[in-house]
Amino acid sequence: MTHLTMTDIARAAGVSLTTVGRVVRKSGYVSEEKRVAVERVIRETGYVPNRIARGLKSNRMNLIGHITVLNPNMLYEQISKSLNDAASREGFQTLTYTVDWERVSLEIVLDELIGHRVDGIVITSHPRLDEELLHKVITRAIPLVMIERTLALEGTDRIVVADYEGAFQAVDHLISRGHDNIAYAGKIPDHEVEKRRLEGYRQALNNAGISSGESLVYLTDNYGVEEGRQAAEVLLELNPRPTAVFMTSDLFICGFLQVCYERKLRIPEDISLVGYDNTLSMMLSPPITSIRLELSTLGGRAMDLLKTRKDNPGLPSREVQSGTALVERESVKRINYEGRG
């Protein structure tokens, strides 16, 4: 039997259409005898409820669209999991598009999600947010939340990471262990995310009265293991060599460690390292001190923003900050203030 409807199930089970609806939705009273009969027919026929038709009737699909970027950084995977879990707790499914943003336009993906009649859209760290495109979502009264890389737009909400504070924590930790020759490896500051990280690094040094020479700052075009290798090749050649490096991605740390291994440099005996995002650092050898982002709570915060805006579309735009925390491991050496050693 193909293209089964709830009416077919009701007829086969000898019950009313209302009873089948209650069994499928798991709501309302149904006697045990009738529930067993309906479930038997559903099992035998392989019936699957037509959620699209039901959503059109109720004007609610219970579907959240999520756009995230194709990237080896486990950060995005963890944010997706957090959103999936939070949506599921609220009775929603998540339709996720993981896109290569250099090849797939944001407009195409947004049109797909609008066509699926999603109840809300979350965009995680897309580097090419376009105000005009996002207005296609806003004018359709679809709640929109942007995470990490965001735009301040009326009718939308955003969750920003405390990147300045996280970078400041990392460098301040190194300073507290006696380091005063601290290098920085990060992406070119072409977005507020990278600008805040670099600013946090410089401000921590400035507060401690430590000079932040430009030779100690290595900037790259992208986040990746190879970029971490390139940073190591440059920073390890400085004279004097930095005693510590703060790297704004655990991916950088992976490449940096490879070069250290090739040069027979030990961590932290020969050079100390602090990473950022705490996604890979605990799996490396030695385990690396890193800045943890509050990824596990991001999904719940995004769902709260979506639901509130669905009920109150005229609310002013809201910004929620996601905090950071230093996770100490085994990659930072304490240096005597009287002299290194």
The pLDDT score that the predictor gives to residue 261 is 97
* Order of all β-strands in the sheet with 63-69: 93-99, 63-69, 120-124, 144-147, 157-161, 318-322
Query: What pLDDT does 304 receive?
Result: 96
Q: How much is the mean pLDDT over the chain? A: 90
The 10s digit of each residue's pLDDT in 169-179 is 999 999 999 99
User: Residues of the chain with pLDDT > 90: what percent?
Assistant: 66
Q: What is the pLDDT of residue 45?
A: 82
pLDDT at 51: 58
What is the pLDDT at residue 99? Answer: 86
Among 179, 181, 217, smallest CA distance to 198 is for 217
**Contact predicate 212/201, CB 8 Å:** yes
Residue 58 pLDDT greater than 80, yes or no: no
Model pLDDT, residue 9: 84
In single-letter form, the type of residue at position 208 comes to A
Segment 228-233 shows an average pLDDT of: 98
Residue pair 155/313 in contact (Cβ under 8 Å)? The answer is: yes
Write out the two tokens for 267. 């961590």
List the one residue out of 147, 124, 226, 127 whose CA is nearest residue 185: 226
pLDDT of residue 148: 93
pLDDT number for residue 341: 40
Q: What is the CATH number of domain 58-161+294-323?
A: 3.40.50.2300
Rounded to whole angstroms, the Cα distance separating 50 from 52 reads: 6
pLDDT at residue 307, as a whole number: 94
**What average pLDDT does the segment 123-145 reach?**
91
In the CATH scheme, what is the code of domain 163-293?
3.40.50.2300
Q: What is the pLDDT of residue 1?
A: 44
- What is the per-residue pLDDT for 340? 43
**Is there a common fold for 58-161+294-323 and 163-293?**
yes
The answer, yes or no, to whether the previous bond of 268 is cis (omega within 30 of 0) is yes
Q: 204-212 contacts: CB < 8 A, separation 24 or more?
A: 204/167, 204/168, 204/170, 204/171, 204/172, 204/175, 205/171, 205/175, 207/172, 208/172, 208/175, 208/180, 210/175, 210/180, 210/182, 212/184
Q: Is the pLDDT of residue 88 over 60?
A: yes
The predicted structure's pLDDT at residue 53? 54
Determine the average pLDDT of the residues in 225-236: 97
Measured in whole angstroms, the distance separating CA 77 from the mean position of its chain's CA atoms is: 7
Question: Pick the residue with more confidence: 221 or 51?
Answer: 221
| Domain edges within the chain | 6-49, 58-161+294-323, 163-293
Cα–Cα separations (whole angstroms), residue 145 to 27, 109, 150: 31, 15, 9
H-helix segments, 90-209: 106-115, 131-138, 163-176, 192-207
The predicted-structure confidence for 273-311, as pLDDT tens digits, reads as follows 999 999 999 999 999 999 999 988 999 999 999 999 999
For the chain, the maximum distance between any two Cα atoms, rounded to a whole number of angstroms, is 88
Predicted model pTM: 0.80
Task: Give the pLDDT confidence of 180-207 residue by residue, as tens digits.
Answer: 999 999 999 999 999 999 999 999 999 9
Average confidence (pLDDT) over 217-238: 96
pLDDT mean over 156-164: 96
Task: Specify the pLDDT at position 124.
Answer: 94
CA distance 301 to 321: 10
> Is the pLDDT score of 57 beyond 60?
no
